Structures are given as C-alpha cells and as structure tokens.
Structure 1
Amino acid sequence: MDSTVVAAGIVVLLVGTEAFFTVLDVLNLRHQEATVAEERAWVVSELGIDDPEEALAYDRVKTGVGALRSWMGLVAVLGVLFSGLFADAVALVDGLGVSTLVEGIVFVAGGVLALQVWSAPFDLVETFVVEEVFGFNNQTLRLWLRDTVVGTVVSLLLTVPLAAVLLWAVESIGLWPVAGWLLAVGFVVGFTVVKPRLIDPLFNEFTPIEGGDLRAAVDDVFERAGYRTDEVYEMDASRRSSHSNAYFTGFGPAKRVVLFDTLVEGMEPEEVQSVLAHELAHWREGHIWKFVGLAAVQFAVIFALLGVIVEAPALYAAVGTPQTPYVGLAVGLLVVGPVTRLTSPLQNYFSLAYEREADAYAVEIVGGEAMAGALAQLTADNLSTPFPHPWYETFHYDHPPVPERIRRVRELDAEADAERAADERRPGAAD
C-alpha cells in the first residue's frame, strides 16, 4: 500500500473520529438544554438542583474545554507525526548508540514525559478556572504540583517496564501479539490488586470506618446482605474537590468500598446505606472479574490489530522512520485508539447491565426511596445534567441516566411492596 494513502487514512480516521464525538457533544448540549427547560420543575423538586441553568452552564464549559483540549491534542499529534518532528525524535533516539530495546524504552519514557507536560496547562485551567468558578475546587497550587509530579513518576514506573517487556516480545517472539495480550490482561489483574493498596494512598487518605453512626449504618447494610467486612473506607476527597462519589475497587484481600467524605457529609444515613448496598452488589455479583473478562476480549482485538499494523512497511514510510518496533507500536496505538472509542457501546452495554443489577440489589436491601434520594443527591452535588442525548448516551454512558435509575428503583420498590402485600393476603400467611 502506498505510504501517502496510509498517511491520509490515519488523518481521516483520527479527524473523523474526533469530529464524530464533537457532533455528539453538540447534540448532547442542545438536548440537555431543551429537556431541562421542559423538565425544570422535576429537576428542581426531585433532584434538588435549585439553579438548573448553572448545571447547564457547567456542562457547556466542561464540554467546551474538553473539546478544545482534544482538538488541540489532535492537531499537535498530526503536526508532530507528519511534519518530520516525529522522525527527528526517532533519529535522535537511534543516534544514542544503544540497542533497539533500550531505544524503545527511552522513546516511551520521553513520550510519557511529553504527554504530562502537554496536559499540565489544560489540567490547570480545568482545576483552577472551571472547577474554581463553579465552586468545586478545594485544591491548592502546591497540592496540584505535588499530585502532578507523583502522577508522572507513577506513570513512568508503570509504563516503562510494561513497554520494555512488550518491545522485547516483539523482537524475540514470533507470536508476540499473544504475549502482549497476556501481558495486558496480567497487568489489569495486577493493577486491580495494587492500585487500592499502593497507588491510591499516594494521593488520598483512606480511613477505615470503625465507629459511630456511620459504622452502625455500614454494619446494618452488610448484616442485611449476609456479609461481613472491614474493607469500607472514607476518603478525604474534600481536600481537592467538593464533588461527591463512591466506588468499589479491587478483589480478594485488596477489595474495598470507598466513600468520599463529601458524600458521607451530604447524605442521610439511609442514602449512604443505599450507596453501600449498590457497591456491595458489584462485590456480590463478581462484576470486577466480569470487567476483566471484557478487557481481555478488547485487548485481544487491540493486539490482533497491532500485529498487522506493526508489520506494515507503508506505515513507517508514511511517518518517515525506519521499521522499528517502538515506532510501529506508537503509531499503531494512535490508529487503534479511535477503534476503541467507536466500539465503546459494546462495553457500555455490559456495564449498564451490571449497574442495573447493583441498583436492584440496593432496592432489595435498603429500599427504592433511599436509593432514589442518593441518586438525586449525587446529581445535585456534582451539578450533573441528567438528560443525555440518546446517541451521546450510547457512546459515553456506562451508567444508566439518573432519571431512568430513579424511575426504575421506585418501580422495583413498588413491585416488592405489591409482592409482600400479596403474600400477606394469601390464606395461612398469618400462621
């Protein structure tokens, strides 16, 4: 294949994908504005968002800044790739007089550092302008700098060894895509174990919930579910932001449920219990392992594509470099990135199913109104706009929209009440 055709194909794929998602952004903003205007009374009364226009403004600004960041990044990538700067960087590394493997390690490390430097100004704007204007930022510049430095070091410590093993496999193993797939799956499993114990504590403090009303509420939920655990933590999220959330992470001895301190402070005990029950369902239903399985399938597709791309001479001719493994992988990942974005509905389909299972379990353990209240509080606390455009939802949402979730948990609650009432009316029910 002609190198010019390959170069044009890369440009069309990257620009076309970005344009598609920008169109989705615009459609979503318009849909949110129209639907919020129609449902304003519901947004105020049910979600507790006193000023829906502020939520819409927050969504517009975040979307605009995100789109600007994405397009500027794309222009920079294409400029570097096809202006000769990428080839110059490869030539510079090639001139070090070291092995191809070491060249690749240096190239990857340089790429990680360049990405961090490029991202820093955007992160500053998002944190100290956007989040500050809308009242979410609690972070100092010193803390932001500290997080940036630590995050860069962690990225290097994770990325460089993985890249070294993968590059060695490309040079030494005939079926290197299979080895790469095994490496990626192993990393996902290992990272799931290591992250909550070693990485997360570098950025936040996690305090075990051991006493008081919150501990009693935690124990009550786990007793109803027939579980017992001490792996429930409160995280000092308020040190950086007033956003609230909760999440489940890890498996085996490393599994834990994490509640933001902002969530604990802003919710009623029953609402906190519903959040806990939802996260417990992910534990109970083995969703972490299911996500690992989905990731394994996705990685199989990615490495199959990389196996073809890395062996294509026209790819190297298109970017003006020798046929070197680390170049092929770098450009190959650029090409595969849009593929993963465009196929995100497949993964979202399963995630949505898991989230619905977790909501249903929360209703079973705590009740629908508590879960509805928790969802409303989270939406209000985070100034979220609750009515995504259907196409935007398909590509971006791994949780059902809040109105759907509230409606469904109430329906499940009503069905449970009806079943209990029917059981009580049956002959012999009082015996």
Structure 2
Amino acid sequence: MTTLTPILSRNWDRADSFTLDGYQATGGYDALRKALAMEPDALVDLVKQSGLRGRGGAGFPTGMKWGFLPKDNPNPRYLVVNADESEPGTCKDIPLMLANPHVLVEGVAIASYAIKSNQAFIYVRGEVVHVIRRLRKAVADAYEAGLLGRDILGSGFDLDVVVHAGAGAYICGEETALLDSLEGYRGQPRLKPPFPAVAGLYASPTVVNNVESIASVPGIVANGAEWFTSMGTEKSAGFGFFSLSGHVTRPGQYEAPLGITLRELLDMAGGVRAGHSLKFWTPGGSSTPIFTDQHLDTPLDFESVGAAGSMLGTRALQVFDETTCVVRAVGRWIAFYAHESCGKCTPCREGNYWMVQVLDRIERGEGTEADLDKLLDICDNLLGRSFCALGDGATSPVMSSIKHFRQEYIDHVEQGGCPFDHAKSTLWGDRPAATGGNQ
C-alpha cells in the first residue's frame, strides 16, 4: 500500500482542470450520460455495492442513506451537498472544488437522478469566496451546455442546482443546522428523529452528503462497483484524500486507498520536518482522539482507527513534533469549540467554556493536578449529553491528551508554567525568511 491513487486529483496539474472544456477532455460527464440511461434504483444499488461510505467524517454508507428516502412521501425530494468545511485541520473539499468543480457538479446530477430529486443545493462556507465563484461558474457553464436544467441531455430529467454561501458558522457543518441555515433560520441542530431522510429541507425527504462523497460517484458509475472495491479494505472500500499538515516536510493532499498508514504517507511526504521526531497526530481532524508515534502503522480505515481508540473522520492528519506543547495545542482547539458552540444546549455551551478556563490556568502554571480530574469530569458531562456531535468532538482531544501525556500536564503544574519554547514549534523557524511583505 505504498502507491497513491490519483483519481479525483488526477488532472489537478492541468491549467484548465477547472473548466468545462478541460473536464470533458478527460472524460468528464461521460458518467452522467451513462447514469441517465439507467434506472434510478439501479444507480442506488450500484452505490450500495461499491461500499462508498460518507467522506465527511461519520462514514455512513452512502447508498444506504440514499435508500432511506420514503417512497410514499408526496413532497419534493432534495439533495444537499455539505461543503461547509471548517474543522481545524480539514482541508480537502475546498481544493477539490477549486481544482475540479465539475466532478462535483456531475456527481450532484447523478445523485439527484438516483434519488429522484429535481432540486439540489451546494452549501459552501462563506469565507471561501474564490471557491464559491468558481463553483458558480461551473454550474452556469453546465446549464449552458445542457448538463443541468430542463431535459438534461434529452433524458427528460430536470435538475436545478443552487450554490448557497453560508455565513461562517462551524455548527452549520452539522447536517440539520445546515438545513435550518438553508431555510433562512439561525443555524442550530434539530432534534432527531425525524431524520433528514424523512423530514429534512422544508420538511421534505432530503439526502445530505459531503463534497468528496458526491464527487466519488461519477468514478463509480463510469468504472463499476468492483473497480471501487478493488481499492481500500473489505469494509472501508475505495480511496480518499489524506490531508497532511503541520510539522511535515511536504504537506498537502495525498489521494490514496483507505487502509494506508501514516508511516507510508510520511515516507511519501518526506517525513517529519528535518531534525525532529513525531510526537502526536490527529487521524481525522481536531475532533478525533489524538494518536502518538505508537500508532504509525495503524491502517487508516474506519474499523482499524476505531479499534485503536480514535476515529478516521475527515482524514485530516495534523502532525506535531516534539517541540509542541500538547496542553497549548489542546487549549487552542477547545477555544475554537467554545467560540463555535451554538449555545443551544447547556453541556456544550458551558462545558467548552469551562474547559478553556481550566486549560488556560494549567498552561499559565496556576493549575493543580486536581484540574485534570476536573477536565475529565467536564468531558464526562459532555460526552453523549450534548445536542449534537460538537460537544462529543470537543472531548476527544482533551481525554486522549490526558491519557497519552498526563505527565506533561503535571509538568505545567509542578514547574509553574509551560516548559516549552513555543517559538521552536512554529514552522517559520525552519524556513527562509520572506524577502518582502508581512511576516
């Protein structure tokens, strides 16, 4: 498992990869033509057979989610693409939409046809204006070419696609908060059940999928389920983006089969930055329990990562070397969650706020060893008790860091402050200074 699988990223080096002409020159929209000649239910079965699991973090089988839509509901059906990428460390959907927006548009058309929907929405994080403009241009070009709109390619299938810009709220990455935001309400999670498949957007049957999940569909239609299952593992089929960032020589997007290990990815990325060693890392962004160098050979698939005590999540591999203070890193993550909590439920609203206070106190050297038990007690009141997964995710770095680096927390207490030189943990110290501009 040492080779990459450039599929979604195969043509990113083309100067015209984001254009309709560039996409069609490499086989783009051929899968849509093939899909429109099939029965919708056959497409759903094909995606089920492929074993494609949600690439947004939860890993729920995509075809199964499509199949949950009730057949007897008279209301319109909707497809919603969750492009509100904002998890710290997660950076795969934005470059995908920037470099290859038409693979998402084609995936939206195929998925909408499969679930018998005539209206789709792509909900994009509002800050990434350059991505929104490029995606809207791709949608406009697809309309002009007859790939969206009325009677697509003479098939009789109609589809309208709206690219919606969010307002920069992390909570809107949660699917029901996203739906409330789309309807014009404040983005806050809904009580479930009912689930979106039954009563989603405008109280109608709705499928919510991640960008990468939908973008993977054209390849499955074009090449077949067996092609997709030939990559990855038995229960975690296919390929995906592994986003390496932090103290790594060559950070970036590495598209590889599920089941690859961090050791293999680091070999391809030039390893941890020169002169340093791996201390800890996240397998799926900041809301997943951290791993250490003992987990270098853990296969990065849903089952193996779960068995090792974490979650694969969005495959956001944040790499930290020995210069990093784990207390400081965790404190910054929890400050983010405290800021982004929607405030709807007490455990998340209060729990994250108080964890920030305790972590700051420990980092300043004003804490006590009893504060570690206090943090774990707060986590116990958060985990499984918050309205949505934001609260659960916030407990992950705290509990796992105390598990793996308890002595480091105690060192802050006993030494009256942080024992680390934070200037050494920055990447700027290892790189040549810029010759101009802000530094």
> Which structure's CA Rg is the greater one?
1
Greater relative contact order (Cα 8 A, min sep 6): structure 1 or 2?
1
Answer 1 or 2: which has greater helix percent. 1
TM exceeds 0.5? Answer: no
- Structure with more strand by fraction: 2
